[in-house]
Amino acid sequence: MNALPELPRSIREVDERAERDLRRMEQAADREPHDDAWRPTVTLRRAADIPCVPIRWLWPGWLARGKLHLLAGAPGVGKSTLGMALAAAVSSGGRWPSGSSAPTGSVLIWSGEDDPGDTLIPRLRAAGANLDRVFFVGDVADAEGVRYFDPARDVQALSIEADRIGNVSLIVADPVVSAVAGDSHKNTEVRRALQPLVELADRIGAAILGITHFSKGSQGRDPTERVVGSIAFGALARVVLVAAKSAEGEDGPPRMLARAKSNIGPDGGGFGYDLEQVDIGQGMQASMVRWGATLDGSARELLGAAEEVMGDVADAITSAEQFLRQILADGPVPAKQVKSDAGNAGVAWASVRRAKTRLGVITRKDGGHFGEGPQQWLWELSDDPETLKVLKNPEGAQQKNVSTFSKVEHLQAEQAEWEDDE
């Protein structure tokens, strides 16, 4: 069996091979088309000869070495502060939101919006970062002069610096759209711009966290599809994280971080968090993340619950009523199916519960007797107008003691008060 070709050991060797291949193609263009000596060849690798290797997790289930991750959300949820919190955990060997220890490593931060001196470094200090292990990507000096860093041209130079630093474990790009010199809405240009960074991360064993925004007016859609720009951002990322903000004054964490997509591990679930202003000395203050409890549910459900209270509650309940009328139009439906379909449709379960009360939906147990199958709760529309409980004031449809993330909310299915239809 022929030996496999030796893989390049450095980016310089990659460039040298590319130059040799280019010269061969230019020479081949001047020869006869049927000259076998200059026919292109393709290297094939037998699957049996390629060893299986585990995912190299930086934060198990959430951040993987050599992979691109996105952190998306609406303005004001604290995405950059979240990025600095994760960077601080890596630089100091601190703890992840899950409570597990982060491996100590160096961090590269490329920011196109916030100033390091008055914004990012204060946040890193507030989060307990080891500033000796955090490095900001600055301008590039070449024969043309001094210019901004361009991933399409400067990855090789960045790679050399990363090797000099050593043990780079996390690269933060904020915002990641700045890495695209061309049109960020074109798939090919996005992939072409981000691929060099992904290859660099894979070579040095670092996770890339790209911070970005949600598209305007995208509430209710699949979270991955809400990422601004080309769909290539969400497609190329192996893990997509989303952040949302709840209404002020609600019980429980006012913000949440959820895992919307993962091609390399489980998805769903998240963590509540809050932002606090803390003193960092010398008369300065900075925001920091205060992590809260673990959250259960899909990212779509968690986002729907958080964003509902930010908008018009009456509109959310009206939409949920329309959803219930449609799904229950042909007869009783199991409660679990109603909940699943609501999640798939982007309708918050809290809104469905309130719409159920307004429509006077009947719940009853079915099965479980004399071999009639498993016992389950069914939902069905009432035929009796007298049983309709339509509230004139939509505020009355809200439970005053129910919060997006509180113990009695829809994310806790085990609560006794809802056992009748769970």
Residue 15 has pLDDT above 70, yes or no: no
Grade residue 412 by pLDDT with cuts at 50, 70 and 90. very low
Domain assignment of residue 372, yes or no:
yes
Q: Are residues 61 and 149 in the same domain?
A: yes
Domain assignment of residue 360, yes or no:
yes
Q: Are residues 163 and 114 in the same domain?
A: yes
Domain assignment of residue 2, yes or no:
no
Nearest C-alpha neighbor of 176 from the set 216, 212, 225, 125: 212
Which position has the token pair 């076998």? 36
| Spatial separation of the C-alpha atoms in residues 82 and 287, rounded to whole Å | 10
pLDDT in tens, 137-160: 988 888 888 988 887 788 888 999
Grade residue 37 by pLDDT with cuts at 50, 70 and 90. low
Given a contact cutoff of 8 angstroms between Cβ atoms, the answer to whether 358 and 317 are in contact is: yes
**Which of 306, 338, 360 is the C-terminal boundary of a domain?**
306
- DSSP annotation of 371: T
| pTM, two decimal places | 0.65
Residue 99 has pLDDT above 70, yes or no: yes
| Spatial separation of the C-alpha atoms in residues 377 and 414, rounded to whole Å | 15
Residue 394 has pLDDT above 80, yes or no: no
Q: Are residues 131 and 178 in the same domain?
A: yes
Residue type, 343: G
**Which of 257, 275, 306 is the C-terminal boundary of a domain?**
306
Structure tokens at 216: 């305007």
pLDDT in tens, 241-255: 999 887 554 555 689
Grade residue 25 by pLDDT with cuts at 50, 70 and 90. low
pLDDT of residue 366: 76
pLDDT of residue 411: 36
pLDDT in tens, 276-288: 999 999 889 999 9
| Spatial separation of the C-alpha atoms in residues 231 and 225, rounded to whole Å | 7
| Number of structural domains in the chain | 3
Residue 238 has pLDDT above 90, yes or no: yes
Residue 392 has pLDDT above 90, yes or no: no
pLDDT in tens, 334-362: 998 898 888 777 777 877 888 888 888 98
Structure tokens at 309: 């209270």
Residue 36 has pLDDT above 70, yes or no: no
| Spatial separation of the C-alpha atoms in residues 314 and 308, rounded to whole Å | 10
- 3 state DSSP class of 382: coil
Structure tokens at 198: 């992904």
| Spatial separation of the C-alpha atoms in residues 353 and 410, rounded to whole Å | 9
Domain assignment of residue 1, yes or no:
no
Which position has the token pair 């899909």? 298
Q: Residue 75 burial (CB < 10 Å; 0-12/13-18/19+)?
A: exposed
Q: Are residues 288 and 174 in the same domain?
A: yes
Given a contact cutoff of 8 angstroms between Cβ atoms, the answer to whether 169 and 90 are in contact is: yes
Structural domain of 340: 312-418
Given a contact cutoff of 8 angstroms between Cβ atoms, the answer to whether 175 and 112 are in contact is: yes
Q: What is the mean pLDDT of the chain?
A: 80
Grade residue 403 by pLDDT with cuts at 50, 70 and 90. very low
Helices (H) and strands (E) in the chain, counts: 10, 16
Strand partners, 208: 68, 171
| Comparison of pLDDT for 91 and 318, the residue scoring more | 91
Q: Are residues 138 and 220 in the same domain?
A: yes
Domain assignment of residue 4, yes or no:
no
Given a contact cutoff of 8 angstroms between Cβ atoms, the answer to whether 96 and 62 are in contact is: yes
pLDDT of residue 12: 60
- Whole-number percent of the chain with pLDDT over 90: 37
Average pLDDT for 122-151: 91
Burial 192-208 (b: 16+ CB within 10 A, else e): bbbebbbebbebbebbb
Nearest C-alpha neighbor of 157 from the set 138, 176, 133: 138
Q: Are residues 125 and 43 in the same domain?
A: no
pLDDT of residue 136: 95
Domain assignment of residue 6, yes or no:
no
Domain assignment of residue 108, yes or no:
yes
Strand partners, 336: none
Q: Are residues 296 and 389 in the same domain?
A: no
Strand partners, 170: 107, 207
pLDDT of residue 415: 35
Q: Are residues 25 and 164 in the same domain?
A: no
> Domain containing 286 — which CATH number?
3.40.50.300
Q: Are residues 188 and 279 in the same domain?
A: yes
Grade residue 397 by pLDDT with cuts at 50, 70 and 90. very low
Q: Residue 119 burial (CB < 10 Å; 0-12/13-18/19+)?
A: middle
Beta carbons within 8 Å of 178's beta carbon, 6+ residues apart: 110, 112
Q: Are residues 90 and 188 in the same domain?
A: yes
Average pLDDT for 44-63: 95
pLDDT in tens, 201-210: 999 999 999 9
Residue 390 has pLDDT above 60, yes or no: no
**Which of 279, 306, 333 is the C-terminal boundary of a domain?**
306
Domain assignment of residue 187, yes or no:
yes
**Antiparallel, parallel or unpaired: β 63-64 and 57-59:** antiparallel
| Spatial separation of the C-alpha atoms in residues 248 and 255, rounded to whole Å | 10
Q: Report the range out of 86-90, 189-193, 296-300, 350-354 with the highest average pLDDT.
A: 86-90
Residue 420 has pLDDT above 80, yes or no: no
Q: Are residues 160 and 244 in the same domain?
A: yes
